Structure formats: C-alpha cells, structure tokens
Amino acid sequence: MPASARLQGAGGRRTRAPIMQSYAAPARPIVAAMTAAAAAEPDRAVAFQGAPGANSHVAALEAFPDGLPLPCFAFDDAIDAVREGRADCAVIPIENSLHGRVADIHFLLPESGLVITGEHFLPIRHALIGIGPRDGVREAMSHPQALGQCRHWLKAHGIRQVPYPDTAGAAAHVAELAEPSVAALAPPGAAAIYGLDLLAVDIADADHNTTRFVVLARGGKPAAGEGPWMTTLIFEVKNVPAALYKAMGGFATNGVNMTKLESYQRGGSFAATEFYADIEGKPGDAAVDRALDELGFHSKWVRVLGTYRRARERG
C-alpha cells in the first residue's frame, strides 16, 4: 500500500492523541530523553517544531550551542512551551528563499505574549534517506516545504511526493515502515539518528535555498549596544484611499529601509487587510521613531513584535 494511503487511513483525530504518540515509534525514546533533559534545566531549553534531526533542530543547535533542544510536535506546542516556562525560547522558521512563508508568525505571535528577540539563517540541503537502494524509491515523504523545494529533483527521478508534518518525523516514519520503496527527504543528520542510509545528498532546486528563523521569548531586553538592528511589526491601515501609500511614505522620507512587507487577512474577512513588516533600525532611533509616528497616523493600530540584532545583511 502506498505511504500516502497509509497516512490517510491513520489520520483520525491526531489532536486527541497524547503528543508523544504523535511521533513515529523510532522518534519517541529520543524525544522523551530530550524532553527530560530540558525539563531538568528549562532555562537552557530551546523549543523547536518537529522531530529530532529536523532543520529546526539544526537551527536551534546553531543559534544556541549550549542550549537543550526541546522537540515539539507543532508550532503552537513550541510557543506554549515558552509561555509556560518549559523553555527559555523557541526557534521558529518563518520564511524560505525558495518556497516563501513557513510559519504564520503574524497569527501565532500577537496572541502568544512572546516577542522576537533574534533571527538565524540556515542554508538548506536535503538528503534522500531510507533503506534503499535509491533506484527502488518510488515515494518521498517530507514536510510540504521541503517537497516544494526539491520538486524538480523528485520529478526527474520519478519519485512521488508524500506530505508529512515535518522532515525528520518523516525519517522516523520511514524507519518504522522499513520499506525500500519509501524514503524521506530530510536533513542528512536524520539518517544516523534513525538508523537509515543516505541515498542521495545535497538535494535542492536552487543553491540559495535558505530558511530564516526567528527566536521567540517571553520578554525582550532593550536594544542596546552594537547593531545593526531589525524591528518586526504588524499594522492595519485605515480604510481610506491611498492609505498604505501614505503610511509607507514616512519610511521613505526618513531613510528607513523596509526589507519585507506582506499583507494578510484575519478572521476570513476580505475587508480588513493587515500587514507584516521588517525594517532596519530600532525604536529610539530618530528616523525610525518619525517613520513609526507617521505609520501610526495613517493606521488603525501598530504593534511592534520585537527588535533584535540583524543576523545578515539584506539585499
């Protein structure tokens, strides 16, 4: 039976099952050990979404080499771990250079009470892992983002895509299935974690494949010391002609560089459009303060989600 059919048949109401049971069997003892270590030292715990070996796990280790990564099945679980004090912070992917938005941070963050305190960029190189051989692989399981980032490679090799909640979780499920025709598309380190073979490495449809992560914490420290700084904010402009154009004018006239502007709609409404933006600089800078004042004049509301050191130059 194809892996896709098995997944659909086992779908059920996953949210009713205990979180640990949501992971494939080979991942559970690893998740349990990592959870216990994080529980013993929550001030060092760094929550991430996915199974051990996921790209978010790799990013957490890179961003916090002395931290204790805490696997969480969903983004909401990672945020709750920080809110409840089971983790000091969370490392969440929000955008990929090939496939766009990952996490809806503008929906997740405002209601959480958390703030953005940092960012981290991770180059993405996937591997095809399984029990092989590669020529016999007919299906590749992975997170839809990873499948989208490698769709041309998979099509060229006649491998069908099978969506799964996360990359390393797919590797654990492949280890559980133990079928040569089913492999996972995951970070190469996941192969050793789950006792699988590397069937193909360095898979990507573009060399620039990179994911941006943000660090979420219960409270941010005032931006002080050396920058450069980034500030993330959300806002809703007034429902009048040219409102967005006028709101953006303050950034142009004050020389504040806006590196990202994205619209989204909340609550299924087609009338009220909100915006997510990243700008260079921080509140307290004269130019940024003037730009935010003008933005506020032309908006119903403005909310700063966090100010943090820029991890890499834009452009």
Known catalytic residue: 121?
Answer: no
Distances (CA, A) of 18 to 14, 15, 28, 37, 73: 8, 8, 12, 20, 11
Known catalytic residue: 275?
Answer: no
pLDDT at 207: 82
pLDDT at 224: 72
Strand-pair partners of 237: 299
Q: Of 82, 84, 127, 224, nearest to 92 (Cα)?
A: 82
Residue range 165-189, pLDDT digits in tens:
889 999 999 999 999 999 999 999 9
Percent of the chain with pLDDT over 70: 91
My answer on whether omega of the bond before 123 falls inside 30° of 0, hence cis, is no
pLDDT at 267: 66
Give the other-Cβ count within 10 Å of 57's Cβ: 27
CA 186-191-197 angle, 5° bins: 110
Residue range 179-237, pLDDT digits in tens:
999 999 999 999 999 999 999 999 988 888 899 999 999 987 777 778 899 999 999 99
Virtual torsion, Cα 260, 214, 263, 162, nearest 10 deg: 120
Q: Of 138, 95, 100, 141, nearest to 120 (Cα)?
A: 95
Domains assigned to the chain: 3-123+210-217 (3.40.190.10), 126-203 (3.40.190.10), 229-309 (3.30.70.260)
Residue range 103-113, pLDDT digits in tens:
787 788 888 88
Q: Which listed residue (35, 117, 211, 307) is catalytic? A: 211
**In terms of DSSP bridges, do strands 139-142 and 182-186 run parallel, antiparallel, or are they unpaired?**
parallel
Distances (CA, A) of 286 to 59, 259, 281: 34, 19, 10
The pLDDT of residue 268 is above 70: no
pLDDT at 287: 98
pLDDT at 104: 80
Reported as a pLDDT band with limits 50, 70 and 90, residue 1 is very low
Strand-pair partners of 308: 230
pLDDT at 4: 44
Question: CB within 8 A of 36, min separation 6: which ones?
Answer: none
Q: What is the mean pLDDT of the chain?
A: 89
The pLDDT of residue 19 is above 60: yes
The pLDDT of residue 270 is above 70: no
**In terms of DSSP bridges, do strands 89-96 and 100-101 run parallel, antiparallel, or are they unpaired?**
antiparallel
Gap between the Cα atoms of 296 and 142, Å rounded: 42
> What is the value of pTM for the model shown?
0.88
Gap between the Cα atoms of 114 and 281, Å rounded: 20
Q: Which listed residue (48, 64, 73, 213) is catalytic? A: 213
